[in-house]
Amino acid sequence: MHGSLRVLLQVLWAQLLCGWVLGSELTFELPDNAKQCFYEDIIMGTKCTLEFQVVTGGHYDVDCRLEDPDGTTLYKEMKKQYDSFTFTAAKNGTYKFCFSNEFSTFTHKTVYFDFQVGDDPPLFPNENRVTALTQMESACVSIHEALKSVIDYQTHFRLREAQGRSRAEDLNTRVAFWSIGEAIILLVVSISQVVLLRSFFSDKKTTTTRVGS
């Protein structure tokens, strides 16, 4: 009983560590003609993954650039809706990645990114990895992997839902303006027709001019 409880506590602790050691995850607003940069300290030899997606705004595109501590460009893409880039840090230092919306003059964007640094912490750090896992430990490892997959799917579907909602709201706004425009045009045409018909049936006064000798 105590062994099972200890295993479950280790699983929960590993889940908490995942949120601390795997970098940054953020959704932020990027105004028009703006550039936003983020920084991450990375140790040499660490495997990292940068994943981003434009959730709302304009054509759902953004410029992205990743640089190492010396300013060397590791990744650069222009007007991308979403992408993922994996690299291994070649040196110690602060890495910089920036998102730019400078090509847009009036449309702000909502950008999501997930910058993962390193691998997951071991689920059983105090266990001897030479020996085989027990049935309970194997089940916990499977649950741990399944929970990570669930988190990834939830994030993916939240982004898709937010993007779909933004498109629907934008379409609803366009339909509303189109309907108002049609109503105004219909009103103007109706008034014009009434004025034109009244001009056909109105009495016209004839002016007679006498020419004297």
- Reported for 60-64, long-range contacts at CB under 8 A and 24+ positions apart, including other chains, are 60/109, 60/163, 62/30, 62/99, 62/100, 62/101, 62/109, 62/111, 63/99, 63/100, 63/101, 63/102, 63/103, 64/97, 64/98, 64/99, 64/100
In whole angstroms, what separates CA 99 from the centre of its chain? 12
Instruction: Please determine, for residue 14, whether its predicted confidence score (pLDDT) is greater than 60.
Output: no
In a 3-state reduction of DSSP, which class is residue 122?
A: coil
Report the pLDDT value the prediction gives residue 207, as an integer from 0 to 100: 53
Residue 129 reports pLDDT greater than 70: no
Q: Please tell me whether the overall predicted TM-score, pTM, comes out greater than 0.75 for this model.
A: no
pLDDT of residue 158: 82
Span 122-144, average pLDDT? 68
pLDDT digits (tens, 9 = 90+) for 18-75: 444 456 788 889 998 999 999 999 999 999 999 999 988 888 889 999 999 999 999 9
* Structural contact between residues 96 and 66, judged by C-beta atoms closer than 8 angstroms: yes
Decide if 123 contacts 140 (C-beta within 8 A): yes
Mean of per-residue pLDDT scores for the chain: 79
Span 72-107, pLDDT tens digits: 999 999 999 889 999 999 999 999 999 999 988 888
pLDDT on residue 9: 42
User: What is the predicted pLDDT for the residue at 86?
Assistant: 92
